[in-house]
Structure 1
Amino acid sequence: MVIHCMSTSTDVPPTVAETKLNFLKAYKRPIPSIYNTVLQELIVQQHLMKYKKTYRYDPVFGLGFVTVYDQLMEGYPSDEDREAIFQAYIKALEEDPEKYRIDAKTLEEWARTQTPSSLVDFSSREGEIEGTLKDIAERAASGDFSYSRFFAVGLFRLLELSNTSEPTVLEKLCSALNIDKRSVDRDLDVYRGLLSKLVQARELQKEYVDREKKKQEERAESQKATETVAKCLGEPQFVRQ
């Protein structure tokens, strides 16, 4: 007799489709395609990160995502909608958007007070952020850390805010955190490429909007001129479509 064991766990993660649906339910207004296309790609990537067995949120990851999101949504028509989309996005992943914002702000403020040497030597100092970095280093050393692209961007943001320009500092920081620098370099290249494409897309969109606006103005002027001529000639003010 063969006995088949069945899992009784009910902790089944949602599917990607369910996460995307939760986002659409939380934010029902249309999002311009220039933003929505990238948002949909990001939410799929982050869903896959979130539901890995080794995933554990940390403030550097949070800072990285907030940085990516704010760069992505720069120039969005409405500040209120931009924040509403952020809230809907994070909640769709069953996480706390306020925690992301608070952690990002805390890390940014901390990084502004750091020097390249103090940033790298976090393990020898005490403090809330230093403790977070030590925990990451310990988990990475034991193989219990889930590295991600957002984490790489978070590291880059720390260096940026501490006015660090020496490439060797990133290498030393990665070493102190037990993170593979090659992965960080690769993901930062992807991040820079994404930003470059977004800038180009925004420029093209602006050119399109400007052209359409000019065409509308020209049509309005042409119609006004036609109506003026018709009035002078005593003809009915009728504009043929």
Structure 2
Amino acid sequence: MDSINLTIEAPPVSETKLKFLKAYKRPIPSIYNSVLQELIVQQHLMRYKKTYRYDPVFALGFVTVYDQLMEGYPSDEDREAIFQSYINALNEDPQQYRLVTEFPPSFYFFFLLADAERLETWARAQNSSSLVDFSSKSGEIEDLLKDIAERAGGNGSFSYSRFFAVGLFRLLELANATDPTVLEKLCAALNINKRSVDRDLDVYRNLLSKLVQAKELLKEYVAREKKKQAERAEPQKANEAVKSFLAENYDTRKLHRV
């Protein structure tokens, strides 16, 4: 369910970061960890705003950013454990964001899915028109979007964030709504400032671009190190072969003398 920040006392950022580190104690490669640490600080500040209220579009945005960041992580199991530790550190429920399971989302009935999966499933069934016309329809997701529009319009608590912007963008992607005007219409229907969304999506795209470059550099570095290790191993193997040959030859000479 949605939650409003009325009774939660905000802990210091350091406490949230420490909680994350205590929950996940294994080392995280710096290419991932540096961005994770930056994200958890940003999300801590969003999480403990007085106007903060969890909503599934925000959840979809975070899950999208997290999956893009952690793409290519050495272990799927560790990637999921980091996700769990991250959300728990913010005093929220990872299972509300997305279902943690060995089965794909399609295995489950719609009402059993976590919020990110529910939105993804719904968006895949939409098009440019139906995505924007949610206010004239009824349904779980349509009602959720109506609630967001009402709160964003001033009738309730709403706190816009970068993750919300990414969530909107993900909805457009899944609905194959490629016309640039669709985002403008969706923002208007939700009472969201499109300039803020455009700005935050630019930041998101820039982050993805830097991550791709960094991961490519990491791959090249790993490949170079493996090559160096192989080159260093060749002389050692040759020396061992020579020693083995000499030892065998020495033993043979001893036998001939006897």
RMSD after superposition:
1.6
The structure 2 residue matched to 1:26, chosen from 23, 27, 44, is: 23
Per-residue deviation, 1:152: 0.3
User: Structure 2 matches for 1:167-186, cutoff 5 A?
Assistant: 167-186=180-199
Which residue of 2 is the match for residue 122 of structure 1?
134
1:12-34 Cα shifts (integer Å, max 9, x gaps): 21110000011011111111100
The structure 1 residue matched to 2:224, chosen from 206, 211, 227, is: 211
1:145-182 Cα shifts (integer Å, max 9, x gaps): 10000000000000000001000000000000000000
Q: Tell me, yes or no, if structure 1 residue 191 matches structure 2 residue 213.
A: no
Which residue of 1 is the match for residue 35 of structure 2?
38
Structure 1: 5+ residue stretches without partners: 1-8, 236-241
Per-residue deviation, 1:10: 8.1
Which residue of 2 is the match for residue 54 of structure 1?
51
- Equivalent residues, number: 227
1:76-122 Cα shifts (integer Å, max 9, x gaps): 01000000000000000000000000111000000000011000000
Report the identity percentage. Answer: 79
Amino acid at match of 2:36: L
Once residues 68 and 148 of structure 1 are traced to their aligned partners in structure 2, the CA distance between those partners, rounded to angstroms, is 13
Deviates most, 20-29 or 9-18: 9-18
Amino acid at match of 2:140: E
Which residue of 2 is the match for residue 84 of structure 1?
81
Partner of 2:153, secondary structure, is helix
Q: Tell me, yes or no, if structure 1 residue 146 matches structure 2 residue 143.
A: no
Amino acid at match of 2:216: E
Q: Which runs of 4+ in 1 moved over 2 A?
A: 9-12, 226-235
Once residues 171 and 243 of structure 2 are traced to their aligned partners in structure 1, the CA distance between those partners, rounded to angstroms, is 67
The structure 1 residue matched to 2:91, chosen from 88, 91, 94, is: 94
Once residues 188 and 50 of structure 1 are traced to their aligned partners in structure 2, the CA distance between those partners, rounded to angstroms, is 20
Instruction: Report the TM-score when normalising by structure 1.
Output: 0.91
Per-residue deviation, 1:11: 4.7
Which residue of 1 is the match for residue 254 of structure 2?
none
1:166-212 Cα shifts (integer Å, max 9, x gaps): 00000000000000000000000100110111111111111111111
Instruction: Report the TM-score when normalising by structure 2.
Output: 0.85
The structure 2 residue matched to 1:135, chosen from 144, 147, 152, is: 147
Which residue of 1 is the match for residue 168 of structure 2?
155
The structure 1 residue matched to 2:115, chosen from 103, 119, 129, is: 103
